[in-house]
């Protein structure tokens, strides 16, 4: 049995796990379902890892699916890498759900769809023809949609509706993209498409646009991200982790597969411009949106938008370098993008799982009602802190490595010839730097308001640490974030089969740098980074200082009241909240991007009514694009609605006229 057979069998097994969960009594069966899902995911993870290291592409054709085409499956380096991301996320969220699932009140609405969601994501990555790709893609959308609407919250109906519409939109766009790629010859197997590549520049332009719309909306590119902050937070937390951490990555797989593989012969330098522009805007807008939030899970969902932007910056740079024949630089940019795919899947899952633990312990997603949880949930707090530091790109954790690589590839881009890119790329660089700094701000806010200070509500005061399964899952993810940050040269080296497949270049082999474990992106370059030594330095100098201070200075600790400016009885509600923390940023950026307005009502001295401040923000994506679009749609639908009220005779007449028109068109065609 080959690796591909195992992968396929595993995916089908996941579907089978879904079936009996319908029959079992949910309360008793959730452990069986999640346990089985975790076991299968672990096997698939092992197979995918072995296959990435082995690096030989395997294919399989099944006699089903589209007539004359069949179902093609393929396991190459790229799909192996994404299968690792999918199944790693699947295994860890299943582990978490072994504990967290006990709190689920509507098991029947979650249990069947969780394993089938995972199966669908596996199948998307395995598919090697347009038909099975789209079927699996739709299955992924539908199962995750079912999971989103499983919750019973106020915004669930709206989240479900918006997600459904956007998911259909993305599938239609990809359908068209495959149509163009297949050409008039109509070969929908990816091998046929590779054998008959598109050549005209305008075909390339259309495919690029459709991919940015189709895969981009699924991944969360601005302004098509609108469904994401609605749908991701609404789902149960382990599903949120899977959707934000993994499903967006499957969308990125779709984009990479089409742009870098199927449409590769048509790649031109100007492809990079729209990709980079959209990516830069997405990164900046995502983090600014996140800063304005006080719902923990929605904040995390907006950060997914930001990180998708960062990944697409890497992809855009890789396109530019590849088109200009700079294979080494393309390899670095693509390594940065793929490493960030892996990194983001780890720390975003970690953060969503932490948010889930908080949500379960307090029943609150609004961080303005939390606070002081570091005392009640010390381990969850620690792991959430690790995730926050990782996503804020702080050394020595993993987020910094992928961002560092992106910066390194920006620094070689003056060698590109195109003047427009020379102006665009520095702007993208500054956007990326700004997004990274703002992300740190946002996570100081998220962690500080949620876990530090005093509890702002009874729910937060009475919180309890979460269960062991959840803690183990979070610990594993935090550990992975640290390890990738410590040995970046090894992790990037493991990605190289996929990088070589897509760019023809690779990073220098490990051991090339000035010392063991140094990451050197360019063989002839002189820049290097060594996370391990930085970590050791931090431990040594911090430890040495602590020892010296305690040995030669004082080591006593006394407890006292906090300084209250002479007015005793500090009220926990006087603490900084999410809104007050981000007020300076809102003043600096919000007025431009969200037309933020503050209405302050300050009663005059002597008046005892409470003062109030009301902040109004408007969402540019809805305001500029979606609301006018919906209004237009509404108008059109109202007109068409008239047709529904026709009599039978008139319907028949319409049908007749339509058939005649079609026949005339066909006749004219020939």
Q: Which of 50, 62, 64, 427 binds another protein (CB under 8 A)?
A: 427
Question: Rule CB under 8 A: is residue 588 a binding residue for another protein?
Answer: yes
Question: Rule CB under 8 A: is residue 281 a binding residue for another protein?
Answer: no
Nearer to another protein, 145 or 270 (CB): 270
Least Å distance, CB 359 to another protein, is 21
What's the CA gap between 391 and 244, in Å, rounded? 14
Give the 3-state secondary structure of residue 568. Answer: coil
Question: Rule CB under 8 A: is residue 529 a binding residue for another protein?
Answer: yes
Nearer to another protein, 103 or 422 (CB): 422
Q: How many CB atoms lie within 10 A of CB 423?
A: 9
Q: Among residues 137, 232, 491, which one has the least CA distance to residue 338?
A: 491
**Exposed, middle or buried, 137 (CB in 10 Å: 0-12/13-18/19+)?**
buried
Cα 572 → chain centroid = 35
Least Å distance, CB 470 to another protein, is 21
Q: What is the dihedral of CA 230, 236, 240, 241, to 10 degrees?
A: 160
Least Å distance, CB 13 to another protein, is 43
Contact set for another protein, span 608-627 (CB under 8 A): none
Stretch that binds another protein, among 97-105, 207-215, 577-585, 608-616 (CB under 8 A): 577-585
Least Å distance, CB 509 to another protein, is 17
Nearer to another protein, 459 or 534 (CB): 534
Question: Rule CB under 8 A: is residue 639 a binding residue for another protein?
Answer: no
Stretch that binds another protein, among 32-40, 180-188, 518-526, 644-652 (CB under 8 A): 518-526
Count, residues in the chain: 670
Least Å distance, CB 300 to another protein, is 18
Stretch that binds another protein, among 32-40, 75-83, 492-500, 579-587 (CB under 8 A): 579-587
Question: Rule CB under 8 A: is residue 511 a binding residue for another protein?
Answer: no
Question: Rule CB under 8 A: is residue 454 a binding residue for another protein?
Answer: yes
Q: Helices 130-148 and 113-126 meet at what angle, rounded to 10?
A: 160
Stretch that binds another protein, among 91-99, 182-190, 348-356, 433-441 (CB under 8 A): 433-441
Stretch that binds another protein, among 14-22, 146-154, 174-182, 528-536 (CB under 8 A): 528-536
Question: Rule CB under 8 A: is residue 537 a binding residue for another protein?
Answer: yes
Stretch that binds another protein, among 34-42, 181-189, 353-361, 554-562 (CB under 8 A): 554-562
Q: Count the residues of the shown chain that bind another protein, applying the rule CB under 8 A.
A: 90
Question: Rule CB under 8 A: is residue 244 a binding residue for another protein?
Answer: no
Nearer to another protein, 68 or 568 (CB): 568
Least Å distance, CB 430 to another protein, is 5
Question: Rule CB under 8 A: is residue 135 a binding residue for another protein?
Answer: no
Contact set for another protein, span 346-385 (CB under 8 A): 371-372, 374-375, 378, 385
Lookup: tokens for 44: 């698939």
Q: Among residues 367, 291, 282, which one has the least CA distance to residue 586?
A: 291
Cα 7 → chain centroid = 23
Nearer to another protein, 437 or 654 (CB): 437
HSE-up of residue 489 (Cα within 13 Å, Cβ side): 21
Contact set for another protein, span 319-348 (CB under 8 A): none
CA–CA distances in Å: residue 254 to residues 74, 214, 263, 346: 14, 9, 12, 20
Stretch that binds another protein, among 23-31, 77-85, 497-505, 568-576 (CB under 8 A): 568-576
β-bridge mates for residue 529, sequence order: 519
What's the CA gap between 123 and 250, in Å, rounded? 10
CB 466 within 8 A of CB 306: no
β-bridge mates for residue 616, sequence order: 597
Question: Rule CB under 8 A: is residue 514 a binding residue for another protein?
Answer: yes
Least Å distance, CB 222 to another protein, is 19
Question: Rule CB under 8 A: is residue 227 a binding residue for another protein?
Answer: no
Question: Rule CB under 8 A: is residue 389 a binding residue for another protein?
Answer: yes
Q: Which of 562, 611, 637, 648 binds another protein (CB under 8 A)?
A: 562
Lookup: tokens for 505: 């270049």
Nearer to another protein, 423 or 669 (CB): 423
Q: Among residues 141, 33, 145, which one has the least CA distance to residue 90?
A: 33
Nearer to another protein, 183 or 429 (CB): 429
CB 95 within 8 A of CB 472: yes
SS3 string of 107-148? HHHHCCHHHHHHHHHHHHHHECEHHHHHHHHHHHHHHHHHHH
Question: Rule CB under 8 A: is residue 400 a binding residue for another protein?
Answer: yes
Residue 6 backbone zone (phi > 0: left; psi -120 to 50: alpha; other: beta): alpha
β-bridge mates for residue 615, sequence order: 598
What's the CA gap between 371 and 289, in Å, rounded? 22
What's the CA gap between 644 and 646, in Å, rounded? 6
Stretch that binds another protein, among 113-121, 195-203, 509-517, 633-641 (CB under 8 A): 509-517
Question: Rule CB under 8 A: is residue 549 a binding residue for another protein?
Answer: yes
Stretch that binds another protein, among 133-141, 259-267, 329-337, 416-424 (CB under 8 A): 416-424
Least Å distance, CB 542 to another protein, is 4
Q: Which of 75, 438, 502, 507 binds another protein (CB under 8 A)?
A: 438
Q: Which of 35, 70, 183, 453 binds another protein (CB under 8 A)?
A: 453
CB 512 within 8 A of CB 490: no
Question: Rule CB under 8 A: is residue 546 a binding residue for another protein?
Answer: yes
Q: Are strands 597-601 and 71-75 parallel, antiparallel or unpaired?
A: unpaired
Q: Which of 49, 58, 580, 618 binds another protein (CB under 8 A)?
A: 580
Question: Rule CB under 8 A: is residue 551 a binding residue for another protein?
Answer: no
Q: Among residues 262, 153, 247, which one has the least CA distance to residue 207?
A: 262
Nearer to another protein, 202 or 537 (CB): 537
Question: Rule CB under 8 A: is residue 528 a binding residue for another protein?
Answer: yes
SS3 string of 414-474? HHCCCHHHHHHHHHHHHHHHHHHHHHHHHHHHHHHHHHCCCCCCHHHHCCCCCCHHHHHHH
CB 204 within 8 A of CB 266: yes
Q: Which of 157, 363, 584, 603 binds another protein (CB under 8 A)?
A: 584
Q: Considering only the C-alpha atoms of the chain, give the largest distance between any 2 of them, rounded to a whole number of Å.
A: 100
């Amino acid at each position: 049995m080959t690796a591909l057979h195992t992968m396929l069998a595993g995916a089908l097994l996941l579907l089978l796990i879904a079936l009996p969960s319908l029959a079992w009594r949910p309360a008793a069966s959730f452990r069986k379902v999640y346990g089985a899902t975790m076991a299968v995911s672990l096997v698939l993870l092992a197979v995918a890892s072995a296959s990435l290291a082995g690096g030989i592409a395997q294919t399989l054709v099944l006699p089903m699916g589209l007539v004359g085409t069949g179902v093609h499956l393929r396991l190459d380096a790229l799909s192996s890498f994404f299968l690792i991301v999918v199944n790693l996320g699947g295994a860890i969220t299943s582990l978490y759900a072994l504990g967290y699932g006990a709190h689920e009140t509507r098991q029947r609405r979650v249990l069947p769809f969780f394993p089938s969601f995972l199966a669908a994501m596996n199948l998307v990555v395995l598919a090697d023809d347009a038909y099975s790709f789209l079927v699996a893609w739709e299955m992924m959308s539908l199962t995750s949609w079912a999971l989103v609407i499983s919750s019973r919250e106020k915004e669930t109906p709206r989240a479900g509706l918006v997600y459904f519409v956007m998911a259909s939109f993305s599938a239609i766009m990809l359908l068209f993209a495959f149509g163009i790629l297949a050409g008039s010859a109509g070969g929908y197997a990816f091998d046929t498409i590779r054998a008959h590549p598109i050549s005209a520049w305008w075909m390339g332009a259309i495919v690029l646009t459709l991919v940015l719309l189709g895969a981009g909306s699924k991944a969360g590119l601005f302004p098509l991200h609108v469904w994401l902050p609605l749908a991701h937070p609404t789902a149960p937390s382990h599903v949120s982790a899977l959707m934000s951490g993994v499903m967006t990555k499957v969308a990125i797989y779709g984009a990479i597969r089409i742009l870098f593989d199927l449409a590769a012969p048509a790649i031109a330098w100007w492809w990079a411009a729209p990709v980079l522009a959209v990516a830069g805007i997405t990164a900046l807008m995502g983090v600014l949106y996140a800063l304005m939030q006080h719902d923990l899970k929605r904040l995390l969902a907006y950060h997914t938008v930001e990180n998708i932007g960062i990944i697409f910056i890497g992809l855009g740079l890789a396109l530019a370098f590849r088109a200009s024949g700079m294979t080494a630089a393309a390899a670095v940019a693509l390594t940065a993008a793929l490493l960030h795919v892996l990194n983001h899947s780890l720390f975003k899952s970690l953060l969503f799982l932490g948010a889930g633990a908080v949500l379960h312990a307090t029943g609150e997603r609004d961080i303005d009602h939390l606070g002081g949880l570091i005392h009640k949930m010390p381990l969850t707090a620690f792991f959430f802190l690790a995730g926050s530091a990782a996503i804020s790109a702080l050394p020595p954790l993993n987020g910094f490595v992928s961002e560092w690589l992106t910066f390194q590839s920006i620094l070689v881009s003056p060698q590109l010839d195109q003047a427009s890119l020379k102006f665009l790329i520095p702007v993208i660089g500054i956007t990326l730097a700004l997004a990274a700094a703002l992300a740190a701000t946002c996570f100081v806010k998220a962690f500080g308001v949620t876990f530090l200070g005093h509890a702002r509500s009874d729910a937060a005061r009475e919180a309890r640490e979460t269960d062991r399964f959840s803690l183990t899952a979070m610990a594993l993810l935090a550990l992975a974030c640290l390890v990738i940050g410590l040995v970046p040269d090894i992790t990037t080296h493991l990605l190289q089969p996929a990088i070589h497949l897509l760019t023809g270049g690779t990073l220098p082999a490990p051991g090339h740098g000035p010392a063991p474990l140094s990451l050197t992106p360019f063989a002839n370059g002189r820049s290097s980074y060594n996370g391990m030594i930085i970590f050791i330095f931090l431990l040594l100098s911090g430890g040495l200082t602590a020892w010296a201070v305690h040995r030669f200075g004082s080591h006593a600790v006394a407890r006292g009241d906090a300084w209250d400016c002479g007015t005793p009885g500090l009220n926990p509600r006087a603490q900084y909240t999410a809104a007050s923390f981000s007020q300076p940023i809102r003043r600096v950026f919000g007025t431009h991007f969200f037309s933020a307005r503050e209405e302050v009502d300050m009663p005059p001295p002597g008046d005892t009514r409470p003062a109030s401040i009301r902040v109004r923000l408007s969402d540019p994506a809805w305001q500029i694009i979606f609301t006018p679009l919906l209004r237009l749609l509404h108008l059109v639908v109202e007109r068409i609605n008239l047709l529904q009220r026709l009599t039978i005779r008139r319907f028949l007449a319409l049908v007749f006229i339509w058939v005649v028109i079609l026949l005339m068109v066909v006749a004219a065609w020939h």
